[in-house]
């Protein structure tokens, strides 16, 4: 026995293994594209695959070749065509299948690109069940086909009438990305961002045309309701930097940051430099030491910088780590501040009405913060007395065992991404989830009754209402969402009228007071099956009527059919299937161009007649559909 154990841990030549490029990518896909996911989150890997291909098209546009990109997605098949110079025909296979092969290593023109490591399309190739690349160049074309990174067929060069450029068509590997689907709203946002950062570029996506003439100014116009802005959007441009700034009446701060055309969803040095520089210049301009939170409260802004050979904190390039804009150049902090000190200060001096409106917005935030100070103190005391972690919250080990997890930084980051809190209604549902959850990363918060409809109320209600107060303490967002304890907030309510109402009330709470949680993709709805169809050999869980009919057809011979009326009816053993790795979640998405206050006014305001007519009309449609099917 001892000898067997000894042999098990021997360190010999056989212990050293070499993986080729595609094997390494497929073994550790997270290193290259972040989390895998099923497409329900904007940062899931299937969107990163699309981004990696488009990035190459953008680089061609930036160098003056090709002003149009055509993107088509049909089902699970993605096709991306640019009209740049096209991959040199003799290097088509190498360009998509050999790591550290590319044209960006020796060219100064590409120094401000994001794709300097030669990995992008190779990762797409390795992680696609089907991958095809066609290069069109000066009347000739070259095609190569792959599967999971393995070359299937390399075609001979042929004549073509197609204009120069490159066409990449791929289907993500369904053994890697299980049950995946593309969500158009995520793709829409992704494509618009490319256009905002590349004025004049035309992108056609499934026959819809995207183009921006005014860069980040267009971004803010699309993301906000201009009627609700406190002053006209401030749009400033300089060498290698562009910013757009406005304030509205929403809570929180929303800052979009970009580096070399890359949307850095997790921020980084440039994002932080913006926040600090804006505060400092505003304080200097008004000659008053305003609190930084008051200055940035309700801000909607965007910053784009271009950096020489940027350093990111991961292959997915979602957070900038560069401290300098170029080797031997200014620090990122000084670069952004110098720009603001000159351009923003000049703008405020030249536009006194804007300066006055900004001052009033800051002082309004200051007044509200001071009014809330005493209430927050009492609310914190009530939360402690309520014994939150025993009464309402079943926390996960990831948070109360920091000493153990603190030894491994990578482990902490991974667990933080996966950390989840389920917000449930009633003891039975919360009890079922609590029994079968992954205690390492999944927490449960139990609601008591229906939450208050908080539409139109001030943030004072968050502290005065016990349920809201305890919920924000559980999430650790009473001061700022930067302290958010769980990356994923999953609303788990029954699929009946009461459950839908509770879901709507919770969404109103988040959208009214913590909109950044929704806008940053932290909030989703748990999908649980409506039906269980089974016979003695097999059990199938169905999420809608069509799935139920398909299950009945598959099992045949009158299977047993159970209709789940609530989460409490699902046994803990069954529940384990629905909150595990294959958990179905419906993301809560605010599309660009949609405005929160208008949405909330429609669904939660006093326009009862308008909502009633909408419900009646849609019920008629559903009735007609049932009659047609019958």
> Which range has the top average pLDDT, 52-56, 379-383, 477-481, 583-587?
52-56
pLDDT at residue 147 is higher than 90: yes
Global confidence as pTM: 0.78
Are 409 and 261 in the same domain? Answer: no
Are 398 and 476 in the same domain? Answer: yes
DSSP state of 172: E
Where does a domain end: 210, 231, 248?
210
The residue to which tokens 């065992």 are assigned: 401
Q: Is residue 219 left, alpha or beta, with left meaning phi > 0 and alpha meaning psi from -120 to 50?
A: alpha
Q: Measuring CA to CA, which residue among 130, 143, 206 is closest to residue 172? A: 130
d(CA 436, CA 419): 15
Half-sphere exposure of 349 (CA within 13 A, CB side): 10
Residue 438: inside a domain: yes
Q: 457 falls in which pLDDT band (50, 70, 90)?
A: confident
Q: Measuring CA to CA, which residue among 191, 92, 194 is closest to residue 135? A: 92
Q: Which domain holds residue 36?
A: 22-210
CB atoms within 10 A of CB 181: 11
- If DSSP states are collapsed to H, E and C, what string results for 375-433? HHHHHHHHHHHCCHHHHCEECCHHHHCHHHHCCCHHHHHHHHHHCEEEEEECHHHHHHH
CATH number at residue 46: 3.30.565.10
More confident position, 330 or 554: 554
Residue 190: inside a domain: yes
pLDDT at 630: 41
Are 184 and 231 in the same domain? Answer: no
CA distances from 26 to 97, 122, 285, 383 (A): 13, 11, 54, 47
Are 196 and 241 in the same domain? Answer: no
Are 577 and 447 in the same domain? Answer: yes
Q: How far is CA 578 from the centre of its chain?
A: 22
360-385 residue pLDDT tens: 999 999 999 898 888 888 887 777 77
> Which range has the top average pLDDT, 46-55, 221-230, 375-384, 569-578?
46-55
Residue 3: inside a domain: no
396-406 residue pLDDT tens: 887 655 544 44
Q: Is 133 helix (H, G, I), strand (E, B) or coil?
A: strand
CB atoms within 10 A of CB 489: 25
310-341 residue pLDDT tens: 777 766 667 888 787 777 778 889 999 999 99
Q: Which residues, 6 or more positions from 5, have their beta carbon under 8 angstroms from its beta carbon?
A: none
d(CA 486, CA 473): 12
Are 583 and 484 in the same domain? Answer: yes
d(CA 566, CA 437): 18
Q: 54 falls in which pLDDT band (50, 70, 90)?
A: very high
Q: Is the dihedral of CA 24, 30, 31, 32 positive or negative?
A: positive
pLDDT at residue 68 is higher than 90: yes
For residue 47, give both structure tokens. 């969107």
CB 581 within 8 A of CB 442: no
Residue 523: inside a domain: yes
Residue 607: inside a domain: no
d(CA 243, CA 217): 8
pLDDT at 628: 40
pLDDT at 262: 81
Are 326 and 459 in the same domain? Answer: no
For residue 338, give both structure tokens. 């110098």
Are 457 and 469 in the same domain? Answer: yes
pLDDT at residue 111 is higher than 60: no
Q: How would you class 320 by CB atoms within 10 Å of its CB: exposed for 0-12, middle for 13-18, buried for 19 or more?
A: buried
The mean pLDDT value of the chain amounts to: 83
Q: How would you class 209 by CB atoms within 10 Å of its CB: exposed for 0-12, middle for 13-18, buried for 19 or more?
A: exposed
β-strand partners of 166: 135
pLDDT at residue 102 is higher than 80: no
CA angle 308, 310, 316 (to 5 degrees): 150
Q: Is 437 helix (H, G, I), strand (E, B) or coil?
A: coil
Residue 299: inside a domain: yes
CATH number at residue 473: 3.40.50.670
CA distances from 125 to 95, 149, 151, 169, 196 (A): 11, 5, 10, 10, 28
Query: What φ, ψ does residue 420 adopt, rounded to 5°?
Result: -140, 140
Where does a domain end: 193, 210, 227?
210
Helix (H) / strand (E) containing 293 = helix 292-296
CATH number at residue 252: 3.30.230.10
pLDDT at 105: 41
Are 346 and 225 in the same domain? Answer: yes
pLDDT at residue 627 is higher than 50: no
- Find the helix packing angle between 269-286 and 332-350, rounded to 10°: 40
Are 205 and 220 in the same domain? Answer: no
Residue 304: inside a domain: yes
More confident position, 23 or 129: 129
CB 228 within 8 A of CB 259: no
Residue 445: inside a domain: yes
Share of the chain above pLDDT 90, in %: 41
For residue 401, give both structure tokens. 């065992």
Pairing of β 128-137 and β 77-82: unpaired
**In total, how many domains does the chain have?**
4
pLDDT at 592: 58
């Amino acid at each position: 026995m001892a000898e067997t154990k000894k042999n098990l841990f021997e360190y010999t030549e056989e212990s050293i293994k070499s993986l080729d490029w595609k094997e390494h990518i497929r073994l550790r896909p997270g290193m290259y594209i972040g989390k895998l996911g099923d497409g329900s989150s904007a940062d899931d890997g299937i969107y990163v695959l699309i981004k990696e291909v488009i990035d190459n098209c953008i680089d061609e546009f930036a160098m003056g070749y090709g002003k149009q990109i055509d993107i088509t997605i049909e089902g699970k098949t993605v096709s991306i065509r640019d009209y740049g110079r096209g991959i040199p025909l003799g290097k088509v296979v190498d360009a998509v299948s050999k790591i550290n092969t590319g044209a960006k290593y020796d060219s100064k023109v590409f120094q401000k690109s994001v794709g300097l490591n030669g990995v992008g399309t190779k990762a797409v190739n390795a992680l696609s069940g089907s991958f095809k690349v066609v290069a069109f160049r000066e009347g000739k074309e070259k095609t190569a086909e792959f599967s999971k990174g393995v070359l299937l067929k390399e075609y001979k060069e042929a004549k073509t009438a197609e204009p120069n450029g490159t066409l990449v068509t791929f289907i993500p590997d369904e053994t890697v990305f299980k049950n995946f689907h593309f969500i158009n709203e995520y793709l829409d946002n992704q494509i618009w961002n490319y256009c905002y950062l590349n004025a004049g570029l035309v992108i056609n996506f499934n026959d819809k045309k995207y183009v921006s003439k005014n860069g980040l100014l267009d971004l803010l116009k699309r993301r906000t309701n201009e009627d609700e802005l406190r002053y006209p959007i401030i749009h400033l441009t300089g060498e290698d930097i562009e910013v757009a700034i406005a304030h509205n009446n929403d809570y929180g701060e929303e800052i979009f940051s970009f580096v070399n055309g890359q949307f850095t969803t997790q921020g980084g040095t440039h994002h932080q430099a913006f926040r600090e520089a804006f505060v400092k210049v505003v304080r200097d301009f008004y000659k008053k030491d305003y609190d930084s939170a008051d200055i940035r409260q309700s801000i909607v802004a965007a910053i784009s910088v271009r950096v020489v050979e940027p350093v990111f904190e991961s292959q997915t390039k979602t957070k900038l780590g560069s401290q300098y804009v170029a080797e031997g150049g200014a620090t990122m902090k000084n670069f952004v501040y110098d720009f603001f000190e000159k351009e923003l200060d000049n703008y405020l001096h030249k536009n006194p009405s804007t300066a006055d409106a900004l001052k009033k917005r800051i002082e309004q935030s200051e007044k509200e913060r001071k009014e809330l100070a005493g209430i927050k103190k009492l609310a914190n005391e009530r939360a402690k007395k309520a014994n939150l972690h025993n009464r309402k919250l079943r926390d996960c080990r990831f948070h109360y065992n920091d000493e153990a997890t603190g030894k491994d930084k990578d482990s902490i980051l991974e667990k933080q991404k996966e950390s989840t809190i389920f917000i449930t209604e009633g003891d039975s549902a919360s009890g079922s989830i609590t029994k079968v959850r992954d205690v390492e990363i999944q927490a449960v918060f139990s609601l008591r009754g229906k939450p208050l409809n908080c539409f139109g109320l001030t943030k004072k209600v968050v502290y005065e209402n016990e349920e809201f107060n305890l919920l924000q303490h559980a999430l650790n967002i009473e001061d700022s969402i930067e302290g958010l304890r769980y990356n994923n907030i999953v609303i788990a309510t029954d699929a009946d009228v009461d459950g839908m109402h509770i879901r709507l009330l919770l969404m109103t709470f988040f959208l009214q007071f913590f909109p950044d949680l929704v806008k940053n993709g932290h909030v989703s709805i748990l999908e649980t099956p409506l039906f269980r169809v089974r016979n003695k050999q097999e059990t199938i869980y169905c999420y809608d009527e069509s799935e139920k009919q398909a299950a009945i057809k598959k099992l045949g011979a009158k299977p047993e059919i159970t209709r789940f009326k609530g989460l409490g009816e699902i046994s803990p053993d069954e529940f384990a299937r629905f909150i595990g790795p294959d958990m179905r979640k419906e993301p809560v998405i605010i599309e660009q161009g949609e405005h929160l206050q208008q949405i909330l006014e429609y669904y939660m305001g006093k326009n009862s007649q308008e909502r009633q007519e909408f419900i009646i009309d849609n019920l008629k449609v559903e009735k007609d559909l049932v009659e047609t099917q019958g």
